[in-house]
Amino acid sequence: MNRELIAAIDLGSNSFRLQIGRIVNDQIYPLDGIKEAVRLAAGLSPDRMLDAASQFRGISALRCFNERIRDYPPEAVRAVATNTLRVAKNAPYFLVQAEAALGFPIEVIAGREEARLIYVGVAHTLPNPHKQQLVVDIGGGSTEFVIGKSFNPIALESLYMGCVSYSLRHFPNGRIDKRGLREAELAAQKEIQTIAHAYREIGWEEAVGSSGSAKALVDILELNGLSDGGITRSGMERLRNLMLKAGSVDNLQLEGLRPDRLPVLPGGFAIMWAVFQELGLERMTFSEGALRLGVLYDLLGRYHHHDLRDATVSAFVERYGVDLAHARQVADTARAFLLQIDPAAADNESIDRRFLEWAALLHEAGVSVAHSSYHKHSAYILGNADMPGFSRMDQGRLARIVLAHRGKLARVGGLDPESTEWRLILCLRLAVVVHRARDGRGVPPLRLKREGRGYVAVADNDWLRNLPLTASALEEEERQWQAIGQPLKLRVERTPARSPAGA
């Protein structure tokens, strides 16, 4: 595996970005970057449907990115999508085309996961990351707030307000007037009020802005003599007066104002103004680190087997009081079954193997809610909780596997018949069945193998004869899999008697 070059793609609400980095001594050095001003959020209708024009712009940008990274191995690339694709109703349709254009899978990440990755990126660019920092990242459709110290986030929040959505809503056709600006500021302040008290209680030593809106404001304030460095309250007040005097973004004559930022400047300004007001800031520095750099460092961690998802699973095991000894036993047996039908899963980097192990470790998380229908509670937790390191699609996959580990398979009947998730579900279900007694007997004498379009479970006769409940449960598994057209056959065989020694 060539681990020297890695790539991150950020499908933001305003811009799509490709960042390529070179790994040198566990540090990432940016090597190349491409930015396309897609303005995806501008194509989001009031009923949350992406229009054809914005989809076309996005697909075109991803085709360009593909030319640069098409020869990269899959494990060296990670693509993440943010707020607009979190909320768009037709996002699944768009993502099919987007993945085909890019040539790599695209993960839609939750707001707090986006905030975590932003902080990872910013922290790696700060001169002193051991200070307690407030990081604010104004994106096209959402704004992330993080308090962190020494590369560890302390508080993470994502609010549904961004420079594209606010510019469209409050500054139609680029018009800037007192009423529109005040309405935008108050709307943003109302959002920030929901987190302001808790964040002030935690506190910070330094405020840092990241991404496009913060960068644009820093450039404008510094190049026009409105600030002596960074974003300042006095500089923002002076810029506010200039914007109102201009009356329109088209009339703004400011050094450092790039054409691609012009349409979204008023919305970004209003949100930043509200941040200063509600959090009592006087000054904010700027960091070049952002989501895409955080994605690169997260990818680097996975390369070196420091996958945050493992830590998250361990934390959930503890938080939800999972019987760890039993969960590990189920995981060991499920893994053994998977290796019997998919020897390639022996590779430590097999993603199917990792998801099966995580699902096995967490399949009883819902018992902390209620034992009755605990698999449904487990699936709800895994599908909806904040799970650092996991994308929404990761969580959806975990939730489906866990939901299907007992009971009727028809609950996940909509799953593609060719999906690899079916074999993970099969391995987990069988492991749960054979360890229902929780007796810690180890991997049982039950072999799993492929046969045609289905599978055969071969059980040792002497073993199964003494376990009537397990035999009954395995027969029920046959019926469940037959009902959804994924045949599983139970075959009982007698273990040949060994010849006496010396015979």
Q: SS3 string of 276-333?
A: HHHHCCCEEEEECCCHHHHHHHHHHHHHCCCCHHHHHHHHHHHHCCCCHHHHHHHHHH
Q: Other CB atoms closer than 10 Å to residue 192's CB: what's the count? A: 21
Question: What is the chain's Cα-based Rg?
Answer: 27
Specify the length of the chain in residues. 503
- Element spanning 214, H or E: helix 211-223
Tokens describing residue 232: 């300042």
CA–CA distance, 325 with 331 (Å, rounded to integer)? 10
Can you tell me whether residue 227 is helix, strand or coil?
A: coil
What pTM was computed for the model?
0.72
Tell me the sheet residues that pair with 80. 10, 107
CA–CA distance, 324 with 319 (Å, rounded to integer)? 12
Full pLDDT tens readout for the chain, 503 residues: 345 899 999 999 888 999 998 887 667 888 889 999 898 988 989 899 999 999 999 999 999 999 999 999 988 999 999 989 999 999 999 999 999 999 999 999 988 999 999 999 898 888 777 889 999 999 888 999 999 998 889 999 999 999 988 999 999 999 999 999 999 999 999 999 999 999 999 999 999 999 889 999 999 999 999 988 899 999 999 999 999 999 999 998 888 888 888 899 999 999 999 999 999 999 999 988 889 888 998 888 765 556 678 878 988 999 999 999 999 999 999 999 999 999 988 887 788 999 999 999 999 999 999 988 999 999 999 998 878 778 778 888 999 999 999 988 888 888 888 888 999 999 999 999 999 888 878 888 888 988 888 899 888 888 888 888 888 888 898 888 888 888 889 888 876 554 444 43
Residues 113-152 as b/e (b if ≥16 CB within 10 A, e otherwise) read bbbbbbbbbbbbebeebeeebbbbbbbbbbbbbbbbeeee
| pLDDT at position 143 | 94
Can you tell me whether residue 171 is helix, strand or coil?
A: coil
| pLDDT at position 310 | 85
